Amino acid sequence: MNRRRFIHTAGLAATASLVAPATVHAAEESAGRKRAIKKAIMYGTLGGLKGSVREKFRMIKEAGFAGVEAMGGMDHEKVLAAQKETGLKIPSVCCHTHWAKPVSDPNPEVRKVGLEGLKT
């Protein structure tokens, strides 16, 4: 691929990434539907707060959030119990090892730990 072709292709990709969401949004509005935007917060941002998982989930709910992104290393039983009690959604889970133990590290032992974190 030559430089001119690369720039052309990259430009098309960039344009498509901007146009596609706008097109979907416009189609939803013309159909009389509006997407409900819901707020969620990453559990890790509560790092300095004291309290159990359940207490922190209650604080998140009281603050007006609809969901929380759990951390991969959390106790699953406690997270699910807190989720059930508060009704918060858990739209995603953040890998707890990816910054310190990336799967792209040249050291195979570090990669192994990172991969286990992703699996968790």
Tens digit of each residue's pLDDT (9 = 90 or more) over 62-72? 999 999 999 88
Which stretches of 1-120 are assigned E, i.e. beta strand? 40-42, 67-71, 93-94
* For range 83-88, the mean pLDDT: 96
* For range 6-23, the mean pLDDT: 68
Q: Are 30 and 84 within one domain?
A: no
| Mean model confidence pLDDT for the chain | 84
Q: Are 6 and 54 within one domain?
A: no
Phi-psi region of 19 (alpha: psi -120 to 50; beta: other; left: phi over 0): alpha
Q: Are 22 and 66 within one domain?
A: no
Q: Are 53 and 109 within one domain?
A: yes
Give me the residues paired with residue 42 across strands.
Answer: 69
Q: Are 17 and 41 within one domain?
A: no
| pTM listed for this prediction | 0.62
Does residue 5 surpass a pLDDT of 90?
A: no
Q: Are 46 and 26 within one domain?
A: no
Q: Are 11 and 41 within one domain?
A: no
120 vs 89: which has the higher pLDDT: 89
Q: For 29-64, write each residue's pLDDT tens digit.
A: 666 677 788 899 999 888 788 999 999 999 999 999
Domain of residue 8, residue span: 1-35
Q: Which residues contact 56 (CB under 8 A, 6 or more apart)?
A: 43, 46, 49, 82
Q: Are 57 and 98 within one domain?
A: yes
Does residue 94 surpass a pLDDT of 90?
A: no
Q: Are 81 and 58 within one domain?
A: yes
Q: Are 112 and 71 within one domain?
A: yes
Query: How confident is the model at residue 97, as a pLDDT?
Result: 85
In the chain, the number of structural domains is 2
